[in-house]
Amino acid sequence: MVEILNIDYNKYVDLIGTAHFTKRSINDVYESIKSFKPKDVAIELDWERFRTLTAVCLACPKRISCGRSVCEFTGASEALGNVDANIWLIDMTEREIGERIRSRITQDELRNMRYPVYQYMDENPVWLWERGFKERVIENSKKQIDVLKKFFPSVWQVLMDERNALMAARLAWIASKNIDAGNQSKILTFLGAAHVEGVKNLLANPVVIKENLKRFALPFAEPTLIRRVAVQET
């Protein structure tokens, strides 16, 4: 059993915030992998979502020239190319997310679902992100998250706090495993931009990671490993 150490794991993890389904995020992923040449890549997916999204992309005749791309996270796998590398899937499964939300949601939250409580932004986040206004998209997203936290606190807890705790625990586990093996290289990690700050804070405070796993009754399971093996070309 790999032990989570009492260290600042941010020294061993590079967090890259992305906006799902934008061409710019796909390009950011490719450029990051090209620059870092990582041996470990962690992505905000579980096995079922990874398999589904990968199948959709592979089956699409416009995959190479796609202007929207299904997901930057599956693009990370392709960007690695023919190398020896580890791809780690660190997110909670959709089934777990659904079950945890259903077990926590309150009558007040159910009533709130009947009304348009969200403050919809006039600015298109995809348009902004594609044109490089990343900080504005993140700021708008924080406003939406604040609304979610106010009117749907149980849903917010699962989607943000609980998933952040589990993903941080899995990143700390991977980093600890590497440290035990004498591998000091960083884990290049792709997360939705809204998760980056929370996960980064947890990685700096491993004690809080353990406390949150206990507080949220989150069972820890090792992240799913997809091993990429370099094939000699002939």
Per-residue pLDDT of 122-158, as tens digits, reads 566 555 555 565 566 566 666 777 778 888 999 999 9
Average pLDDT, integer, range 196-210: 96
Which residues lie below 8 Å from residue 233, measured CB to CB, with a gap of 6+?
Answer: 82
Q: What is the percentage of the chain residues whose pLDDT exceeds 70?
A: 68
Whether the per-residue pLDDT at 67 is higher than 50: the answer is: no
pTM score above 0.75: yes
Reading across the β-sheet that carries 85-89, which strands appear in turn? Answer: 13-18, 187-192, 40-43, 85-89, 224-228
Q: What is the mean pLDDT of the chain?
A: 80
Q: What pLDDT is attached to residue 142? A: 67
Whether the per-residue pLDDT at 170 is higher than 80: the answer is: yes
Looking at the DSSP assignment, which residues form a beta bridge with residue 88?
42, 225
Q: How far apart are CA 101 and CA 110, in angstroms?
A: 11
- The encoded tokens of residue 7 equal 């260290």
Q: How far apart are CA 59 and CA 61, in angstroms?
A: 6
Q: List the alpha helices (DSSP H) in the chain.
A: 23-36, 47-59, 72-80, 94-104, 107-112, 125-130, 134-151, 153-156, 163-180, 193-203, 206-215
Using CB atoms within 10 A of its CB, is residue 61 exposed (0-12), middle (13-18) or buried (19+)?
exposed
Residue matched to tokens 């009304």: 115
Three-state SS for 148? helix
Average pLDDT, integer, range 93-119: 86
- The encoded tokens of residue 138 equal 């993140």
Specify whether the CB–CB gap between 167 and 73 falls below 8 A: no
Q: What pLDDT is attached to residue 205? A: 96
pLDDT band (50, 70, 90) for residue 65: very low
